Every structure is written in structure tokens, then in C-alpha cells.
Amino acid sequence: MCIRDSVSDTGADTRTVHVDLGARSYDILVGGGLVARAGQEIAARLPGIRAAIVTDANVAPLHLDRLSAALDEAGIGHVPIVLPAGETTKSFDHLMQLVDALLGARLERGDAVIALGGGVIGDLSGFAAGIVRRGMRFVQLPTSLLAQVDSSVGGKTGINSPRGKNLIGVFHQPALVLADTDILSTLSRREFAAGYAEVVKYGLIDRPDFFEWLEANHAAIFAGGPARVEAVARCCEAKAAVVADDEREDGNRALLNLGHTFGHALESAVRYDPERLVHGEGVAIGMALAHRFSHRLGLIDGQDVTRVERHLQAVGLPTRIDAIPGPALDVDTLMDRIAQDKKVSRGQLTFILTRGIGQSFIAQDVVPDDVLSLIHISEPTRR
């Protein structure tokens, strides 16, 4: 994996992060103006292709015309496929609809599925690309911060089952990721902050210097400009390193789940109601809990817990279950959901804990009752 800089035709700085996976290696381009340049960047790497642009009803009015014009300019024939927005689109029904549209458009294996959207569109489109004609080419144009720094990189694709999130899918790496940081200006502050939780995650896993840099630069990242490009590129660099080392999550890739066991349980407990909680907010609460839990186990200083909570709160992210609006969540039900998690084996949970800021590790022997008592102690109103 390497990172290099270039200056685009529009004059905006573009950073290139290379994901080193042998024959499945690819570039992630990070910078402003990439939607307008998408046709030329795609044509340079995938000459002669046709494509489907898969997007959702929220993103289409904002960006589809510009992407379509950029593909026209580069002579890439394409069809748009617009799906409903929201987590429920990651379903068998929509997968079938998408697969049928790709086949109906007579796209071939060498052609590309271009995902223009957030994590839902990226995961669903990647899965369809992975199974149609035994694997079409796949390009990601992530439109949320969360998708730019996490879900668009690394080849995890899939849909949800009524039995849980992301339980059906394949690993299918993209051929190219274009992370246009200008696009992020269309996000609400809340959506941006939710994605920022995943940015903080990379600092907390194993990059203490990055965490310190975020503490000093978060306002500039939220404002846009070079600090935002820098933050997204450094996250992609961190993720590319993890994925190159452990593509199929046999080992350290699991560190990327820091905060996610709690986060997923909380999302499920509010029935994925985005008014109450979105994914990144669940991850923020989960990361704070993982640090409080590590402190309770005597692994880290209270000062580190305070530092993490302060930073999350500084950008408006929640750090406590109590902060979730609406009816109180029942902690026992929450624990039940955690105990059902796919990371449970023989009654013990695999959990990401930490020995300090940027010193996370995979603990395979966490006892669910200890987690329950932590929540009871640190969230007394939830007894």
C-alpha cells in the first residue's frame, strides 16, 4: 500500500492510496471534483467497458446527472438504476431487482457496476457485481463520509437477513474507488458526524498520532478543504493496510469492528430507526463503552476514557446509551442481542478492547455478564 499526491485537471489536490492485493489490487483516489473526472479515471483503468450506475432516490437528484455527463464525455455507455434509499434496500427483493436490471441491460462480465451512494448502495451493488455472470467489475463512488472511509474500501459486500445485518454476501473487491470529498458538503452535519465516528476509529485502533491530529483539526475537517481530504486519505491508507494484511478477516481485520458489537446491538434495539440512531452514532457509543470497559478491566487510564469521550462529544456524537432519544432501551434485551452476535463462541464474546489510545486488541474471552454489569454501572438510569 502506498500513498501519492497529484494535481487534477480541476487544480484540486488528489491523493492516491493503493490497495495491495496482488491481482485484485486497486487505487482509491481521494480529492475534490472526482465525479466530474470519473469518466476519464474509469476509462483509463477499464477501457472499452459499458456500465450501470446504481444509486438511490436521495442521491440521484444530487449527483447522477453529473456522473452521467462525465461517463458520456469519456464514451462510456451506461444505464442508471435508481433504488429506494435506506437500510431496507439491502434485501433479497432489491438484490433480485438489481440483478434483473443488470442482466436486462445486457451487461457483460467485463462491464462495470458503478455504485453511486452510501454504504447501502455500495454493499448491495458490490454483492450484485460479485454474483452476476460470476463476477462483474465494480467501481465505488461513495457519497457519505462513512462510505468513503470504511465501507467502499476492502471488498465486503452484502445484504441483511431478518436474522441480522450483513449476514449474506461475498468478498468482491472494487477495481477503483473515487472518493470525491466535495460531495460530502451535501451531507447534514449529523450525517457527517456519524461518518466521523469511523474516522476516529482508525486513531483509536492503532494510530495515536492520527487521533491527536483529529483532536486539533476536527473543525477544519468538518468545514471541508485540505484537512478533509487529508483525513479521508489517511483513513483509506489505514484501511488499505488492514485489508492488504487480512483480506478475509481471519485475524486483525476484526479490529475494524471496534465499537461495532455495541453499535449493531443498539441499532437493532431501536429497530434501525434513523430518527433515533444512525450507524456511526451507535459506533461512537460502542467505542466509548469499549474504552470504559477496558478501564474497568484495569487496562487503561481514566484519562484516556475522558479524552475519547471529550473528542466524540466535541463533534456532537453521543457517548452514552442514555443519549439515544425516545423510550429507554432495556439493557437485558440489549445484552441478549449482543449474546446473539456472530462474534460469540461458546458463550464468550470476541470484543475489541484497548490498552490505551491507539492500542486496541482483539479479546476473545469477554464474558457477557461483565459487559452487562459495566452498562449497569455506567448507565445507572438504565437499570
| Binding footprint of ligand GLY on the chain (CB under 6 A) | 150, 154, 156, 249, 253, 256
Q: Select which of 63, 78, 201, 239 is catalytic.
A: 239
The CA radius of gyration of the chain, in Å to the nearest whole number, is 20
Residue partners of 265: CB distance under 8 A and separation at least 6: 334, 337, 338, 341
CA-nearest of 89, 72, 78, 201 to 149 is 201
Active site residue 260: yes
Q: Output 150 or 267, the one with its CB closest to ligand GLY.
A: 150
249 is catalytic: yes
- Could you please report the per-residue DSSP string of 197-222? HHHHHHHHHH-HHHHHHHHHHHHHHH
CB of 256 to ligand GLY, least distance (A): 4
Closer CB to ligand GLY, 150 or 206, in the complex? 150
Please tell me which residue in 260, 292, 295, 311 is annotated as part of the active site: 260
C-beta closer to ligand GLY: residue 32 or 263: 263
Q: How far is the CB of 199 from ligand GLY (least distance, A)?
A: 13
CB of 151 to ligand GLY, least distance (A): 6
Residue among 202, 110, 89, 87 nearest 154 (CA): 202
Is the CB of 151 or the CB of 378 nearer to ligand GLY? 151
Nearer to ligand GLY by Cβ, of 101 and 254: the residue is 254
Q: CA 61 → CA 116, 214, 255, distances in Å?
A: 12, 32, 36
**Cβ–Cβ < 8 Å for 352, 303:** no
Give the active site residue among 257, 267, 276, 292.
Answer: 257
Is 134 part of the annotated catalytic residue set?
A: yes
| The three grid cell numbers given for residue 202, joined into one nine-digit string | 482508525
With beta carbons less than 8 A apart as the criterion, state whether 83 and 98 touch.
Answer: yes
In the three-class reduction of DSSP (H, G, I as helix; E, B as strand; rest coil), residue 168 is classed as strand
Instruction: Using the CB atoms, write b or e for 248-279: b if 16+ within 10 Å.
Output: ebeebbbbbbbbbbbbbbbbbbbebeeebbbb
Least spacing, CB of residue 307 vs ligand GLY, in Å: 24
CB of 179 to ligand GLY, least distance (A): 15
Report, in Å, the least distance between residue 182 CB and ligand GLY: 24
* Minimal distance, residue 363 CB to ligand GLY, in Å: 18
Q: How far is the CB of 255 from ligand GLY (least distance, A)?
A: 9
List 58, 66, 249, 307, catalytic entry: 249
Residue with smaller CB distance to ligand GLY, 12 or 175: 175
Contact 17, 79 (CB under 8 A): no
253 contacts: CB under 8 Å, gap ≥ 6: 154, 242, 243, 245, 246, 247
Sheet holding 137-142, edge to edge: 3-7, 13-19, 26-31, 176-180, 137-142, 112-117, 51-56, 78-83
**From CA 293, how far away is CA 289, in angstroms rounded?**
6
Q: Of these residues, 234, 279, 292, 337, which one is catalytic?
A: 279
Q: How many residues does the chain have?
A: 383
**295 an active-site residue?**
no
Active site annotation includes 253: yes
Residue with cell 459506533: 283
Nearer to ligand GLY, 32 or 286 (CB): 286
The answer to whether residue 379 is catalytic is no
Toward ligand GLY, which CB reaches closer, 32 or 358?
358
Rounded to the nearest angstrom, the gap between the alpha carbon of residue 192 and the centroid of all alpha carbons in its chain is: 12
Asked if 39 contacts 83 with a C-beta cutoff of 8 angstroms, the reply is: no
Kindly name the residue from 15, 137, 165, 198 that is annotated as catalytic: 198
Catalytic residues: 134, 156, 198, 239, 249, 253, 257, 260, 264, 279
